[in-house]
Amino acid sequence: MKGMERLDQTVVQELKEKIALGCKILAKLELSDYLGHVSARIPGTDLVFIKARGLDMGNLLDMTADKVVMVDLEGRRVEGQDLNPPDEVVLHTEIFKARPEVMSVVHTHQPISTILGDLGLRILPMQGVMAAVAAREIPVFESSLKIVTHEQGRGVARALGDHWAVHLRNHGICTVGDSIEQAVVFAIWLEHQAKLTWQASAAGIPRGMSQEEAELQIKDALGPMASRWRYYCSLLDN
């Protein structure tokens, strides 16, 4: 299997720890419970680390590195202490196949983003650097069903295209990034912009930023991700 013989165990452990932290952050912010997943491509390989199946490992607030499973790009378990990959593993692996530059995928059932997706309302770029994640209209995968087949996974990847996020109609969202930190932070930011859009809709007709100004936020959005990650990790101490 490509690259398995060259796995750097320091890198392996770091990825597992970051997946665990990403899951805990998403749970802390009530964007996931025992459902939802964070995954990461193992650099230089055809292998992926992903959070184990929810029913096997429980509340994401209790997520640890030993609850991470290694799979290949077909979603087949390669390693993982007898834990099973999530039912929707192909949601991740088909995105990794379609987007070689993507290093991490996040799937959540975060509520406000899901509500706006159901209503057919665009999540608008509403505020600051976080608005970059919604600078372009977020595409929609028009199915509420669990993503358990390769065909469904490919459909999500096609809907995602070259965007950072995709709605799964009446199901949730996916975000992608060039790191675990980026994909997790983008999921958080997406929900923040969704919340502001929803709140503004209760008072009137929100406008959001202009396309030009929202896109000007992108450079800053892709900037000091390590500092942002430290901030969100610090929330776990409270």
DSSP state of 205: -
The tokens describing 6, both together, are 């060259």
- Tokens 């000007």, residue? 216
Q: What angle do CA 117, 121, 124 make, to 5 degrees?
A: 105
d(CA 216, CA 210): 10
Catalytic hit among 88, 94, 181, 191: 88
Catalytic (active site) residue 79: no
Residues 6+ apart with CB under 8 A from 3: 42, 44, 45, 46, 47
Amino acid at 29: L
Using left for φ > 0, alpha for ψ between -120 and 50, and beta otherwise, residue 3 falls in left
- Tokens 């077909």, residue? 74
Residues counted in the chain: 238
Question: Among all residues, which ones are annotated catalytic?
Answer: 88
